Chains A and B, each alone.
Chain A
């Protein structure tokens, strides 16, 4: 009798679980499916859009290649990817160098440096927005991608250095010591012992370095004024606000074209940075 009721409880519990998960799957997939649907729908407006298009068309994807005075989809795409990858690479280099020094060496100014990093990590980079706006205009650095990359990289340093230093700290010093006895130099220990062991955290730093610039609107919209120099967030935002909803289907095609590769890479690399997040982020 008891076994029977336990079995029934289990069925009910799993039943409810599956129901909730299926419902959530619909909620998660609906906006994504809707975007895919819109991108294949004929016409410009969304009024007649259906989830599964009756007459699917590639017209909107082809429209992405046709540039106008204010529409340069593939320039935006390339700008976004270029800026994000440059920021990612530079952040990983600068962050791991700084974190290595902070984790393994005791030098004058170390404690003050760490406190400065801690403080800077709390001040939102947004605080610099006004200065960036005023100065970029005066120095004629408007539309400069290099400036943007340097600002993004600088913004990544405090927080990521803290995470990375924490991760380096958790790697036993004995490893360095025995390598040093074998005659390895500091740089060699850094590159061949610590960096490979810190791979999960390197992945986290790299992901932040890539997704931060990719999604940034505030700072990039302040610096980039020429439509050709835009990144995707600014370009796509202007596309749908300027034409009063008349170009949503083109937007949908553009959104799919960037989201699909990013999501695939994200899911493939997920395992790497999840380890870093759970090991580094939760210890605090």
Chain B
């Protein structure tokens, strides 16, 4: 009998407190946590007082994107609407935490324990909520400087925002998937998209593989036991990484210049080869870009491989020596598998890095040379094309739609890789 009463009574305070905290703070007051309750109440009042205008305007704007020119600015309204959504999401989170807090403290009372005072619950917060305290500055920054802009870009893809739908004279509207459909149905967009995508894929594969092969090759070369001046070779081979990349790319842009660049005027003419139109013919530009990226990218792989080589257990080689394996056999069956197994994540990073390698494409030749019947240059990859669409031709919606396609592409590949590596399994 007694047992039954206590079980029945066990949830009484908890439920009442949780129910009362539908208005944040009241549940805490019921639990006799006066300061905390008042604090919650005040925060709630301030939240609604401060943000009611934002919610009102924000959601109206998010749905309509404005109704009157020149009063309304669609992009402003969109931004405000998204901020309203984020503020609402944070509000809901706190609302949930408030109910949970009232319930938990009510439970304490049901069990006959005293509810901690404000001071005690403040120090409790410092201890129990320590991880939240540590995480919140970073997450807060992440929400406003990364997540919000990405959401905003993605939202733009579903509007018709471009040069012809810009404030103050015009409004933009929601158009759903029309921009995506245009990419695949309007001839000039489709052909440009697929030629850019094709070169992006080739560029990513060849440039990254070149860097990886060169990096591993030189690491193994310098690792030879009887080689002298190892330190010297290592410093030399790391130099392309040590010098800021944008500087080297601009230097190469000058060296590959068709008319006065050193490649044509000094090196090729020395061998009696005619000047090559590096910057004006797309295929030559592509070769130059791949060569330069090989030069820029191999030191990173070289350095990491060198580290990995030093960790290969010596007895593996001794066993191979006993079996009379040749140097090549040792490399094929011991060194290379070991390197590849250890370095898979870093190798994959190379590919995603080059997929998004805006700097070399844009700084070397502006994605050029210009191509007839195309809105992209002859060597533009997706990211540099998006950049030009945004800054040069105000095709915001199109650029945003391409951004989504690009992100989906990258995420799909990265997820496929992460499922295989074990850092994902671990958590």
Interface residues of A (CB under 8 A from B): 10, 13-14, 17, 20-21, 24-25, 27-29, 31-32, 34-35, 38, 45-47, 49, 51, 94-95, 97-98, 100-102, 104-105, 107, 110-111, 113-114, 118-120, 122-135, 138, 150-151, 153-155, 157-158, 161-162, 166, 169, 186, 211, 214-215, 217-218, 221-222, 232-233, 236-237, 240-241, 245, 248, 251-252, 255, 258-259, 262-263, 266-267, 270, 274-275, 277-278, 281-284
Contact = CB atoms under 8 A, between A and B. Distances in A.
Contact size class for B? Answer: 35 or more
Contact of A274 (B146, B222, B307, B414): B307
Given A129-B153, A215-B245, A255-B247, A24 B383 contact: no
Contact of A119 (B138, B148, B411, B421): B411
In the complex, which of the residues A29, A114, A118, A218 has the most CB atoms of chain B within 10 Å of its own CB atom?
Answer: A218
Contact of B238 (A20, A262, A270): A270
A236 B257 contact: no
B1 interface: no
Given A14-B226, A31-B255, A101-B131, A130 B362 contact: no
Q: What 6 A-B pairs are tightest by C-beta distance, nearest first?
A: A154-B145, A278-B307, A284-B345, A128-B149, A105-B131, A131-B152
Nearest to A186: B130
Interface of B: 73, 75-76, 79, 127, 130-132, 134-135, 137-139, 141-142, 144-150, 152-154, 156, 218, 221-222, 224, 226-227, 233, 235-248, 250-255, 257, 260-262, 265-266, 295, 303-304, 307-308, 311, 327, 342-346, 349, 352, 356, 358-359, 362-363, 366, 383, 386-387, 390-391, 396, 399-400, 403-404, 406-407, 410-411, 414-415, 418, 421-424, 426-427
B359 A131 contact: no
9 contacts: A24-B236, A128-B146, A151-B149, A154-B145, A241-B366, A248-B254, A251-B254, A263-B239, A270-B242
A14 B224 CA distance: 9
A245 B342 contact: no
A237 B227 CA distance: 41
Contacts of B131: 101-102, 104-105, 107, 110
Contact of A259 (B236, B243, B363, B404): B243
B342 A263 contact: no
Contact of A31 (B75, B218, B252, B352): B252
Nearest to B342: A282
A34 B250 contact: no
The secondary-structure label for the interface of chain A is helix
B406 A124 contact: yes
Contacts of A118: 418, 424
Contacts of A259: 243-244, 247
Contacts of B366: 241
Contacts of A275: 307
B227 A14 contact: yes
A29 B238 CA distance: 11
Contact of B146 (A29, A45, A97, A157): A157
